[in-house]
Amino acid sequence: LVLNHTSDQHPWFRAARSNPRSIFRNYYVWSDSSLTYRDARIIFTDTEESNWAWDENSKQYYWHRFYSSQPDLNYDNPLVQEEMMKIMSFWLDLGVDGFRADAVPYLFEREGTSCENLPETHEFLKTIRQFINVNYPGRILLAEANQWPEDLLPYFGDGDDEFHMGFNFPIMPRIYMALKQADRTQLVWIMSRTPFLRETNQWGIFLRNHDELTLEMVTEEERQWMWDNFAPEQRMRLNIGIRRRLAPLLENDRRKIEIAHSLLFTLPGSPILYYGDEIGMGDNIWLSDRNGVRTPMQWEAETNAGFSEAPGQSLYSPIIDDEEYGPLKVNVKTQQDDPASMRNFIRHMIAVRKEHHAFGWGEFEWIDCNNNKVAAYRRTYQDETILVFHNLSDTEQQVSYKTKRPIRVRTDLLTQWEFRSKDGMVNLKLKPYQYLWLK
């Protein structure tokens, strides 16, 4: 649900720019000066020089927090708020389970502020939540706000009057950093900055999404390190981030892709998968902007990867056609028929996770095993405790850990392998990139 803006090709904006007296003129934010709201940061610094764009037709500037082709809506106009309620009703009546609300911090503008996270924004979001609660109970609102976790807390309101969920953006790059550095330090640090939420709320955590892998919430040195290690070619970079898919980022190494998903499924939050990553789809860095990670889903090895029967040149984007990631090698049907495929193993991980509420609702506590190459933690909910171990390195690692209870046998939930301990002491030899969910 794109709350913040429309396309400049949208009928509303076309009407707004063609006729200053149009009812749609006030659907957008206009000014005679480009110096208004000058305290608001520019988000896409590599392509935009200002948050204002000059409209030659109407001889005024219009406001845009993202690309100039995406003019911001004017939420001080009650008609815009009404329109958004109508849009939500349309989709909710069709049966959608909820919305990922796009770019929520930027809905209102006020002089002398950063034009982010304003009180007026929260007032409108409470109106949306009340509308959902009354008319469509049980539907979900997920906030997409590229903010630090502590700054996102106000978007949960009092637990039941704004968003149900919010994306935890800064954990994403640190999963890649932990794997590349073979060191849990970055994960420990970001988890220390991630507040535990009420049972009525939840973080959404993810490995990739449809945009660039954002590096906005790392230091300049860390950003350069990420570019050097994960996007060595300039075309792999976009804005302050990396426009690559999961499999290429992890060198198409099945071990790394699996352990990344294990972290995703066992750290606090609801895991969110990006289409195609479950089968190891690749990207096309030669497509413009963010389109390189938005190519058609590869369903089978046949024409157009089974995505469409239309002529190939009519597709919204070309199919990935390289030898390593093309549909002849990477597709749903082939993996569906292979019990050992990545798709089926990730399905297995999801099924196991759903059986154990400790992963979804449990408390989180790091385990100190005197080895930073191993990310180990405890998930506890009611009378269930699960010990999770990840060898982040490409070498075997030894782990010794004294448990709180002298349980003799613990079972890996994924493989059913048994691990014995004596007097509560767990001694493990973890193979490169091995992970265990022990109960």
List CB contacts of 399: < 8 A, sequence separation 6 or more. Answer: 369, 371, 374, 376, 389, 426, 427, 428, 429, 430
- Residue 219: predicted pLDDT: 96
Q: How far apart are CA 273 and CA 283, in angstroms?
A: 16
Indicate if the pLDDT at residue 184 is higher than 90. Answer: yes
Cα separations (Å) of 425 from 184, 286, 382, 428? 22, 53, 23, 10
Strands 397-402 and 409-411: unpaired
pTM exceeding the 0.75 threshold for the entire prediction: yes
Q: How far apart are CA 348 and CA 367, in angstroms?
A: 25
Residue 49: band (very low, low, confident or very high) from pLDDT cuts 50, 70, 90: very high
Q: Is the dihedral of CA 218, 227, 175, 296 positive or negative?
A: positive
Q: In what order do the strands lie in the sheet with 213-214?
A: 213-214, 241-242, 237-238
- Residue 145: predicted pLDDT: 87
Please give the structure tokens belonging to residue 420. 């014995």
Q: How far apart are CA 77 and CA 73, in angstroms?
A: 9
Q: How far apart are CA 289 and CA 144, in angstroms?
A: 20
Closest by CA position to 212, among listed 52, 46, 329: 46
Residue 17: band (very low, low, confident or very high) from pLDDT cuts 50, 70, 90: very high
CATH 3.90.400.10 intervals, the chain? 1-167
- Residue 371: predicted pLDDT: 95
The architecture of the domain spanning 1-167 is Alpha-Beta Complex (3.90)
Q: Could you report the per-residue pLDDT of 408-431, keeping only the tens digit for each?
A: 789 999 999 999 888 778 889 999
Average pLDDT over residues 129-137: 97
Q: Could you report the per-residue pLDDT of 247-267, keeping only the tens digit for each?
A: 999 999 999 999 999 999 999
Indicate if the pLDDT at residue 131 is higher than 80. Answer: yes
Q: Could you report the per-residue pLDDT of 152-181, keeping only the tens digit for each?
A: 999 999 988 999 999 999 999 999 999 999
Please give the structure tokens belonging to residue 74. 């004017």
Contact 359, 382 (CB under 8 A): no
Please tell me which residue, 426 or 84, carries the higher pLDDT value: 84
CATH 2.60.40.1180 intervals, the chain? 361-438
Question: What are the residue numbers of the active site?
Answer: 102, 144
Average pLDDT over residues 77-87: 98
Q: How far apart are CA 131 and CA 1, in angstroms?
A: 15
- Residue 433: predicted pLDDT: 99
Contact 320, 327 (CB under 8 A): yes
Q: Could you report the per-residue pLDDT of 266-287, keeping only the tens digit for each?
A: 999 999 999 999 999 999 999 9
Closest by CA position to 291, among listed 253, 238, 215: 238
Indicate if the pLDDT at residue 399 is higher than 80. Answer: yes
Q: What percent of the chain has pLDDT over 90?
A: 91
Q: How far apart are CA 397 and CA 432, in angstroms?
A: 8
Give the mean pLDDT of the chain.
Answer: 96
- Residue 407: predicted pLDDT: 72
Q: Could you report the per-residue pLDDT of 357-394, keeping only the tens digit for each?
A: 999 999 999 999 889 999 999 999 999 999 999 999 99
Long-range contacts formed by 347-353: CB under 8 A, 24+ apart: 347/278, 348/414, 349/261, 349/262, 349/265, 349/414, 350/265, 350/271, 352/413, 352/414, 352/437, 353/265, 353/266, 353/271
- Residue 426: predicted pLDDT: 84
Residue type at 189 in one-letter notation: W
C-alpha 185: how far from its chain's center? 21
Average pLDDT over residues 76-103: 97
Please give the structure tokens belonging to residue 292. 């390189």
Please state, as a whole number, how many other Cβ atoms lie within 10 Å of the Cβ of residue 272: 17
- Residue 208: predicted pLDDT: 97
Contact 436, 412 (CB under 8 A): yes
The architecture of the domain spanning 361-438 is Sandwich (2.60)
